[in-house]
Amino acid sequence: MIDFESDFKSDLKIGFIGFGLIGGSIARALKKINPDYYLFAYDYHKDTPSTDLQAALSDGVLNSVTTTLSEDFPEGDLLFLCAPVLSNINYLKQLKPYLKPSCILTDVGSVKSNIHTAVEELGLTKQFIGGHPMTGSEKTGYLNSYALLLENAYYILTPTKDVPGYMVDFLHGLVKKLGSLPILLEAQEHDEITAAISHVPHIIAAQLVNLVRESDDDAEKMRELAAGGFKDITRIASSSPVMWQNICLTNSEQIKRLLDRYISSLQIASEALANMDEDYLYHMFDTAGEYRSAIPGKSIGMMKKLFEIYLDIMDEAGAIATIATLLASNQISIKNIGIIHNREFEEGVLRIEFYDDQAQEKAITLLKRYNYRIYERK
| Residues 23, 119 share a domain | yes
Give me the pLDDT at residue 135, please: 85
| Residues 180, 195 share a domain | no
| Residues 163, 31 share a domain | yes
Q: Note the Cα 342 to chain centre separation in Å.
A: 29
Q: Note the Cα 57 to chain centre separation in Å.
A: 25
Do residues 155 and 132 make contact, with C-beta atoms less than 8 angstroms apart?
yes
3-state secondary structure of 138: coil
Give me the pLDDT at residue 296, please: 67
Assigned domain for 108 exists: yes
Give the range of the structural domain holding residue 76, as residue numbers without chain letter. 13-185
Could you give the percent of the chain with pLDDT greater than 70? Answer: 89
| Residues 74, 38 share a domain | yes
Query: Domain boundary at 242, 268, 293, which?
Result: 293
Q: Note the Cα 54 to chain centre separation in Å.
A: 24
Do residues 81 and 17 make contact, with C-beta atoms less than 8 angstroms apart?
yes
3-state secondary structure of 179: coil
Provide φ and ψ at 128, rounded to 5°.
Answer: -105, 130
Assigned domain for 2 exists: no
| Residues 243, 152 share a domain | no
SS3 of the chain: helix, strand, coil, percent, to 5:
50, 15, 35
Look up the CATH number of the domain holding residue 285.
1.10.3660.10
Distance in angstroms (rounded) separating the CA atoms of residues 146 and 351:
24
| Tens-digit pLDDT profile for residues 310-363 | 887 776 778 889 999 999 999 999 988 887 654 444 445 788 988 888 899 999
Bridge partner residues of 80 (DSSP): 16, 106
Assigned domain for 256 exists: yes
Give me the pLDDT at residue 345, please: 44
Query: Domain boundary at 235, 269, 293, which?
Result: 293
Assigned domain for 1 exists: no
| Residues 136, 24 share a domain | yes
| Residues 282, 262 share a domain | yes
Distance in angstroms (rounded) separating the CA atoms of residues 240 and 242:
6
Look up the CATH number of the domain holding residue 36.
3.40.50.720
Q: Is the pTM of this model over 0.85?
A: no
pLDDT averages per 10-residue partition of the chain, 378 residues: 58 94 95 95 87 94 96 96 91 95 95 95 97 82 89 92 96 94 95 91 89 89 76 74 83 93 94 96 90 68 68 78 92 85 54 87 92 77
